[in-house]
Structure 1
Amino acid sequence: MSENSTVEKTIRVLEQSKSPAAQAVLMHALTVNDPQIRDMAARALVRSGSALGKTEVIRHIDVLSPDVVEELSEDEKAMSFPLRQCMEHGDHESSRKALETIESAHLYGEIPFLVKLIATASGERADQCEQVLLALIDKLYEQRSKQKASEPTSINQHCEELLQLFGLELSQFEKLKRPRALIESVLILSDPEDGVARQLIRESSTDCQGMVWDILLESRHDGVLMFLIKSLNIKYVHPRILEIVARRRDIEFQLALVRSIPERLSVNQERNFCQLQGLPWLFPGERLWQSIPDQWQGRVIRLVDALAFRHDQRVGFYESALEHAGVHGKVAAAQHRTMIRPQLFEQFVLEALESEDPAIEGWAVSELRNTELPDKYRFLVNRLDSGCPEVQRQAREALGRFDVPTAILFCETARPSVGPKLAELLLKINPDASQDLARELANPVRTRRLRAAKAAAFMGMEGNVTEALLEMLFDSDSIVRRAVAEILGSVPTPAVVGALETLLEDSSPRVREAAEASLQQILATDEGQAASEAAKAQAKLEMANQPEGDLL
């Protein structure tokens, strides 16, 4: 049999014994150096039902494991009597250990007794009781925050019962020695529309209300901060609440407020926020964006939109975000790009393109399409080779819409020098762009055929779609034939020379003029001379190969 098994068996025997000596041995076991023996002895003493034994467990609470301390809450009623005896009749050390036990084991059932002690005690003893009360309230708040308020759990039940208790105590505010802890507990555990909270804010005495306002202004407990922020979501908010929101400038309140801003504000929130001309900590600048985590910066922009800022003030925030914020702030601010000078917006985008943060660079890539930067497509193409997958994705997404129709539209407004770069870009994004352009040249709508032909010339892609252009020389519309004849002057091939020579007999004088001018342009180059000779040789060959009947 192992040593531990022997000890466990011994402790079980001592637990079942009614002998005072057995109890004394178990109580002594609480002082040994072995933590396992101490824990087993403590569990045995609690199960034994002995008030004296439980008192000893309380006196040695600081040497027991967290697991044993937590188990005390499972037998809270059995621990209540020895705890109260220690606090009411024990010495200073026993009282202190009892308070430590209540706090460590989260014995919420002892809160009413703590409230009673706070009302009668004074000095250090009252301070200790108050500290334990607030520690328990803090733990309750933490546990309740993980649950839905509507769920019928023991935690929610504790909270409801305590709120009623605190409300009853505070109804005699003038008689209380230390009401502040009770008021703060109400604000931590309740919502603005709870009955006890409404009574404190709307119906309590002037002195009581004054303490409520002080706590809402000064406390940095998350529960109090959330009470203040949730008050902005009720229809008829107390004017002092708005005043306090407009005065607080601590970072805890700033982060709590920003964190709570939803994607879409409620009607009540919109009504209440628009009564605020601003907040004392909310100013555009690099410092603001450094103080707010990146994932919440978009909520700052939504907060700015909700407050009663002037137009120029809002623009200042948007510009500040585009310059200094992280990607979430920039995304939110960019939704207001129409309020920002285009040149300034383009400057912010160019600066972000050089960012070492891939997320910010990716944002800049996604915004290039919303600018008039002459080299925006060049920037996008360069990002296709980025080492960052997010930047590549944004570039592909932006360029995915750059097809032949888009290129044709862009050619009509771009500078002539952009043409060859545009062709390079188009072919890199879409290797089948030449075929797509050829199909557009055969479009049944004359206007679209002409626009496609001019775009091909603008981009220097005549050589890529020569066959389609030659087909257009036989178009029934003389305007189309003339335009294509002019374009083909830069394509010195035998087929083009032969086709232009055919047009010298076209029925339209202007087509004949265009054909002659293009032929002269071609023949002015050595390449063109060679193409002309090749065209003549091809014509003679075709004549020689014709049957004699055809010649007649």
Structure 2
Amino acid sequence: MAETWDITFDHLVRTPNAAAGTVLEQALDSPVAEIRERAVAGLLRRPEQSGHFAVLRRIDPLDPAWPPRFEQMPLRFLQSLREALVSSEERLRENAYQVVLWCSLYDTIPLLVNLLERPEAEQAERAGEVLLELTRRLADSLAAPHQPPNVSGLQRAAEQARRALAIGFDRYGKHKRREVIEAYIPLIKENVGILREALASTVHPARNALLRIFREAADPSILQALCGFLQLKDIPTSVLGVLSQRDDPAFVRELLRQVGAEPPTKVRRNLKRLLQLKCLNNLSRILPELNESEQSLIPSLIIGTSIPTSQALPAVGEILRHGLPAARAAAAEALGHYHGAEANALAIQAAHDPDPLVVAAVLPQLRGRGLSGALPIILQSLESSHPLVRRAARRCLREFSFRRFLETWDMLPPDVRRDTGMLVKRVDGHTTGLLRAELASPFRSRRLRALSVVQELDLVSRVESSVLPLLQDEDPAIRAEAAAALALTDSPAGLQALRNALTDPNALVREAAENSIRSREERRIPSACEPSAREATLRPSPTLAGALTTEQPLARSAESPDPLS
């Protein structure tokens, strides 16, 4: 039976007799689905326009079986489809639009533009909707990361569409259809210089409508074009006004994307022309709409503009309070560009942020702000469990170097000497290495001073291998001081060295060795590798800050390693 139907319908399609078309049109209303399906396929291949219109009238937009039927359309049907688009019959016209959208018929864009230029056209509203949808699809296809197989055809269609839309754009004064402008922008978003000419001219018919679209439209392509003006050498003042006034999250997201973390020279120059940004006044509403990387770009955007401090600081504060961690860190770093009571309060707030990135970003600013509580905060940060925070704190205390501490050792009172030394030990990661060098110094006074320092700072265990050879020093005072120092270590090597010192020819050395051995036996000495109780409770005294800060900080060839890690 199927073979018989094949023969019949093939004959109805191929015969030049126009009556065959009438038969196929009648078959469209058959109760048999297979006959209706064959009738549709046959009429699409027939040359009669009446048959094509008959198919279009019977389309059910909600029936998923219809779109596949138009995947392969003969040229003659395409011609009929164009006629249907300008028809005064609403059903025929609407179904023709539906086929255009199903099949993404970009070649119809020039016709749609022409329809919009006819004020009397009944279908102008629908033509505008279809035009916008087609141009967005075409622009997205051309911008796809992987080129579609028919890219050359798409490029030809896009060029035809641009020419037609450019004409419609220049004729805006006649038709007043903003759909023409909105459809034009996605296809030229990479070349907004074309639009700049219209905006620079106060007499261009589309200028005001274009600005209105830039102020109101949320379409991604339009936002991309709007923010793309920042890439131009000479951005129109009217566009700067739009950029200043928009505050919707979609716009802010696109603006941040195009500005980026390190904007090009042209973008930086144009940002400096922005004297206000309305979006910064509404960050409480915008921040939840942005992801962490987007939020973290806002502080650099703020710094890059010329907006007043009265607007910038509240925006930075909003990010510090409600931003995600990376954004709060960026905001903390941006605080370095602002001064005054409000900026200082925000800096203190950032210094107590739970995220180490934020704390590390703000610590280097505290002392430069002249805050009375800056030094205690920095000292507390030295004990942080986060290496990033500890490194930042040490960078803030570069003048607390071990070399300077040695230079001022003899001038410091005993209590300040101890506290200052404990701080220097935590700040300067070169302390141990420099102490070893001092213990091996050819100068007697320096060796004696180094032995006093290692005992005062509980560092004997760290440099024990450098202390042991001093028990053989030619100077009995140094041998005695070395024996006294070994009381603070519990290593077997130290104990054996003390026992050997009991036979030293000098009585003072023997006495010091005996006392050290007795001290080791009487009490258990905590490991010098762990902070002592006194060190753990160290607080800066008034003399401490001034003890080492009267001179300029010493230059360093490299950042100190972390003494606490």
TM-score (normalised: structure 1): 0.68
- Cα deviation code 1:273-316 (max 9, x no counterpart): 10111211214865443232222112212211211134575555
Q: Is contact 2:284–2:318 with CA below 8 Å preserved after alignment?
A: yes
The range that moved more, 231-240 or 286-295, is 286-295
Distance in 2, matches of 1:237 and 1:267, equals: 13
Match 2:116 to one of 98, 115, 118: 118
The CA RMSD measured in Å over matched residues stands at: 5.1
Q: Is contact 1:462–1:488 with CA below 8 Å preserved after alignment?
A: yes
> Residue 290 of structure 1 aligns with which residue?
288
Distance in 2, matches of 1:27 and 1:206, equals: 51
2:150 pairs with 1:155: no
2:225 pairs with 1:227: yes
> Residue 354 of structure 2 aligns with which residue?
352
Q: How is 1:358-373 mapped onto 2 (pairs within 5 angstroms)?
A: 363=357, 372-373=378-379
> Residue 59 of structure 1 aligns with which residue?
57
> Residue 105 of structure 2 aligns with which residue?
107
Q: Is contact 1:86–1:94 with CA below 8 Å preserved after alignment?
A: yes
Distance in 1, matches of 2:344 and 2:476, equals: 43
Amino acid at match of 2:354: A
> Residue 505 of structure 1 aligns with which residue?
506
Q: Which has the higher helix share?
A: 1
Distance in 2, matches of 1:283 and 1:503, equals: 80
> Residue 300 of structure 1 aligns with which residue?
298
Q: Is contact 1:437–1:465 with CA below 8 Å preserved after alignment?
A: yes
> Residue 495 of structure 1 aligns with which residue?
496
Amino acid at match of 1:246: S
The range that moved more, 294-303 or 182-191, is 182-191
Distance in 1, matches of 2:483 and 2:319, equals: 54
Distance in 2, matches of 1:451 and 1:521, equals: 19
**Highest relative contact order (Cα 8 Å, sep 6+), 1 or 2?**
2
TM-score (normalised: structure 2): 0.67
> Residue 522 of structure 2 aligns with which residue?
527
> Residue 258 of structure 1 aligns with which residue?
256
Distance in 2, matches of 1:516 and 1:52, equals: 124
Over 3 Å counting, the alpha-carbon distance change for 1:449 and 1:132 in structure 2 is farther
Over 3 Å counting, the alpha-carbon distance change for 1:367 and 1:266 in structure 2 is closer
Pairwise CA distance, 1:18:
5.4
Distance in 1, matches of 2:214 and 2:500, equals: 88
Distance in 1, matches of 2:514 and 2:311, equals: 64
Pairwise CA distance, 1:224:
1.9
> Residue 368 of structure 2 aligns with which residue?
none
2:376 pairs with 1:374: no
Distance in 2, matches of 1:494 and 1:291, equals: 67
Over 3 Å counting, the alpha-carbon distance change for 1:451 and 1:303 in structure 2 is farther
Amino acid at match of 1:275: R
Amino acid at match of 1:46: L
Distance in 1, matches of 2:455 and 2:14, equals: 103
User: What stretches of structure 2 of length at least 5 have no aligned partner?
Assistant: 365-376, 395-399, 406-415, 524-565
Over 3 Å counting, the alpha-carbon distance change for 1:46 and 1:286 in structure 2 is same
Amino acid at match of 1:80: L
Q: Is contact 2:272–2:304 with CA below 8 Å preserved after alignment?
A: yes
- Cα deviation code 1:57-97 (max 9, x no counterpart): 32234358768637747648433321233244452211221
Distance in 1, matches of 2:12 and 2:456, equals: 101
- Paired residue secondary structure (2:380): coil
The range that moved more, 364-373 or 285-294, is 364-373
> Residue 328 of structure 1 aligns with which residue?
326
Q: Is contact 1:39–1:68 with CA below 8 Å preserved after alignment?
A: no
> Residue 163 of structure 2 aligns with which residue?
164
Percent identity between the two aligned chains:
20
Q: How is 1:140-539 mapped onto 2 (pairs within 5 angstroms)?
A: 140-146=138-144, 153-174=152-173, 176-191=174-189, 193=191, 196-203=194-201, 205=203, 207-283=205-281, 286-310=284-308, 314=312, 316-336=314-334, 338=336, 348=350, 350-353=352-355, 363=357, 372-374=378-380, 376-377=382-383, 379-380=385-386, 441=436, 446=441, 457=455, 460=458, 462=460, 466=464, 468-475=466-473, 481=479, 484-491=482-489, 494-495=495-496, 497-498=498-499, 501=502, 505=506, 512=508, 516=511, 519-520=514-515, 523=518, 527=522
User: What stretches of structure 1 of length at least 5 have no aligned partner?
Assistant: 354-360, 382-393, 402-406, 427-435, 507-511, 529-552
Over 3 Å counting, the alpha-carbon distance change for 1:29 and 1:441 in structure 2 is farther
